[in-house]
A and B are shown apart, each in its own frame.
Chain A
Amino acid sequence: MATTTDPAAGARTAGTASDGDGPAIELEGVAKTYRAGRSTVTAVRHLDLAVAPGEYFAVVGPSGCGKTTTLRMIGGFEEPTAGTVRLAGRDVTGVPPDRRDVNTVFQSYALFPHMSVADNVAFGLRRRRVPAAEVRRRVGDMLDLVELTGVASRRPGRLSGGQQQRVALARALVNRPGALLLDEPLGALDPLLRQAMRAELKRLQREVGATFVHVTHDQGEALAMADRLAVMAGGRVRQTGAPAEVYERPADRFVAGFVGAANLLTGTVRTSAGGDGYAAVDLDGGQRVRAATAAGPGARIDLTVRPEKIRIAAAGTEGPDGGANLLRGTVRDAVYQGPATHYTVLVAGAGAAEPVELVVHRQNSAAAGPALRVGAEVRLTWPPEHSHVLGPA
């Protein structure tokens, strides 16, 4: 696109992501406590975060965990009660939003209702006294990029939700900020449009090459879009990493349960890891599984198995599952989901122990056998590398 190949681009925004190799955004020991009358609310407890230049970074967590507050501290709308915020290596604590090289896409879009779409998009450039001809050209290019050229002279109030969202994006991106902050950018869109906008946002980010920080409560969105993501809960970051890393190796019970579906099991180490790195673990239900852990005998551990890692087969159809964990149970529930069927399997405990329920996702692929009925006796197997041991939650 014409916008990205503009030689005058980098010159204007000082301290953009491209200078230096340091993080574009860095939060160090950041905390925020709101004071509402006599009571206080701690929205962010302690936050260390570093976002690399050009990265698509997602912050995901349940509602009220402090995501918006975090974003507002980066944007300059809230001052942290403790800690420092650095943009491209510069400490911006105390710097007002108009003097920070980041732009925000607000959850409500916050488009100026009395200005046309083009004037909304031109707002930031005009504040920086960009010459009128260049403003016109860059606004035109940006409206092309988000496919809104036809509505340039309309008021935002006359646009659909999806169009308003793209105006908000264009209004921020036209300034070529060092980083773009997006607060639940897809939250107000209907599900179909949301899906389309995921791809659209990724395309935009690739084309402008800016750092994106995308806040969402939708873990699926974060997994699908982010290069790296931070999982937040209760005003803290629980885990940071690439989507596959966070999904496959969740740091604790919270992350395991929040990102994707997970079977959570607890047990006691029986014999510590042998030559293959796997220890034998007695689950609280009495079943024995193998998992990679350095814990010694007698240690209590939590482990998790993702539902799609478990193979489910009717009892009696013994397969070549050498070395795999094996549990036997009864199908309690089967929910047909189209591409996959989700089974809930009751694994009986030994003696008086509580039975364990495991969720298993089986692809309805061409190779899959006949559907398993509720009440069917089944065997569950999974390779021990997929019994992921969690840290303390």
Chain B
Amino acid sequence: MNLDSLTQNSGEWLRAVGPEADIVISSRIRLARNLSSFPFTNRANTHQKAEIEQYLQGRLQKLDIDLQLDYFNLATITPLDRQLLVERQLVSRELANSEGPRGVAVGANEIVSVMINEEDHVRLQVIRSGFSMDEAWQEADRLDDKLEEKVPYAFSEELGYLTACPTNVGTGLRASVMLHLPALVLTKQIEKVFRALQKINLAVRGLYGEGSRASGDFYQISNQVTLGKSETTIINEIRDVIPQIIAYERQARQTLTRESRPLILDRVKRAFGVLKSAAMMTSEETMDLLSSVRLGVNLGLIDDINIVVVNQLFIHTQPAHLQKLLGRELDSEERNSERARFLRNRLSEMDSMN
């Protein structure tokens, strides 16, 4: 795998192949683990971090799995490439922006990534398209077992996997689901959903792009508690609540098409029109317009474009992707005009195919 080829396609999680993919973008499992014989990353010096990296990278190469892992040394690749990995959700923003020896091993299809020297020595992540929590967990659990055969983790019988921050101790598990909820936003019911989730100790966060707030109507729901519950319990608690949110969103979509069809149709067509013709486009506006188009495709209001292409445009118009696709660095004004040009080109390609 090379970083330049990543931009040619999108990771598995964006391919809209999983269950309920019209609403659930992706399901993600993240496990935090540490080596028992080193201080935590924030307390390790450069030499120790290099040792940790070398040790883990070596073990990862030798894992008894049918998955090829490609390693990226985050200390030596360009800031643009680091940003690219962040946009693809293979690396956390925190790891990309930190310092010293650190890296990420990425599996084919970008389903698996293992970050080294993040806040914890190991952050193992599995991300799947659609509502596929169980599959994601099984994969993460299996990989964790394989790695554990080769690596002594910091673990206590009483407190479980020991992590740099006590908010992750125990299972070290963060399970999250990314949802596209444009109809709940439009019908102003989204806060009601948030309140309900908060009551059962689940965290909700808006997804942000460059210069955007909760843009694109994407929301991530994840567990907060990691200690005192088994992995299965944690995952089930999230898994059980998602179908209700999906049902609310579908209901809101139905209400919209039943009661405000002309308004929604107008919104969708206008969004598509602007995307196809604007000369300057910020990342934020792109996300919002694409969100409307995405809703339109899912409601069958527009058939000029399919959902996979819409998903791809969300990621290809992100700053680092755009710059990689164009093959040069751009300042933010250049990005806005190149982003608009990119969208015009892509969408007129679609027209000529129809």
Chains A and B form a bound pair: no
